[in-house]
Amino acid sequence: MSSTASTPATRLSRPARRGLLVVHVLASAGWLGLTLGLLALGTTAATTGSAAAVEASVRAMKLFADWLLLPLALLTLVSGLVLSLGTPWGLARHRWVYTKFWLTLGTTAATAFVLRPAVNAAVAEVAAGGPLPDTGDVLMGPVVSLSAYVFMTVISVLKPWGLTRRGRRQREEAARARSGTGRRVRQDA
């Protein structure tokens, strides 16, 4: 394989990379902030004895979950994917990037298929005038999400674990290609 096999087919220009990084960080921070808001509302719903406070909390959670969470989750996922594929970090070269991608994909799916339905079910229970909903369902989603986001933030800053097997192989191939090119230049000179 040539050294071009170890680099992405398309590299983002510096302005595009910086702009996309800003979008990614803002979307991620927004997703984190919304999750903190959901946690506060879920905690209120779980700890209050007031039916009106429970209803207000779960209705506010529905507003966040229906209109804000999924778009921010998808923007975070897509911007991170484009950044990883358009920069030397790569998607499967470094363990921290790979781990962060799969966690983002998992939390996006959980937002769409677990958190939103749980919030919608709680709102439906409150709207039907039945007993107060099981607030554990609306509280557990934000707790799990927040834990995942904090972990992803930590690994984004610390960049632990080094290269994946694929990343090591690509680095070795690139080094061999550079050293082979260097020998040819010296022999020709």
- Tell me the domain boundaries of the chain: 7-162
Confidence of residue 5 (pLDDT cuts 50, 70, 90): very low
- What confidence score (pLDDT) does residue 174 get? 86
Is the pLDDT at 33 greater than 70? The verdict is: yes
In the numeric block, the tokens 């674990």 are attached to 161
Cα dihedral 20→25→30→31 (10° resolution):
100
Residue 82: both structure tokens together: 């484009």
Task: Report the predicted TM-score, pTM, of the whole model to 2 decimal places.
Answer: 0.82
- What confidence score (pLDDT) does residue 90 get? 87
In the numeric block, the tokens 């800053």 are attached to 157
**Domain 7-162 CATH assignment equals 3.40.1130:** no
- What confidence score (pLDDT) does residue 89 get? 85
Average pLDDT across the chain, whole number = 87
Higher pLDDT, 1 or 111: 111
CA nearest to 155, candidates 96, 81, 102, 101: 96
CA distance 37 to 173: 47
Q: What is the mean pLDDT of residues 154-164?
A: 92
- What confidence score (pLDDT) does residue 187 get? 47
Helix (H, G, I), strand (E, B) or coil at 114: helix
Task: For CA atoms 107, 44, 63, 72, give the dihedral sign.
Answer: negative
Confidence of residue 188 (pLDDT cuts 50, 70, 90): very low
CA distance 76 to 79: 5
Residue 53's Cα: distance from chain center in Å?
31
- What confidence score (pLDDT) does residue 88 get? 86
CA distance 115 to 142: 8
Helix (H, G, I), strand (E, B) or coil at 105: helix
Confidence of residue 3 (pLDDT cuts 50, 70, 90): very low
Tens digits of residue pLDDT in 54-106: 889 999 999 999 999 999 999 999 999 999 999 888 888 999 999 999 999 99
Most confident of 45-54, 95-104, 125-134: 95-104
- What confidence score (pLDDT) does residue 167 get? 87
Is the pLDDT at 125 greater than 80? The verdict is: yes
Is the pLDDT at 114 greater than 50? The verdict is: yes
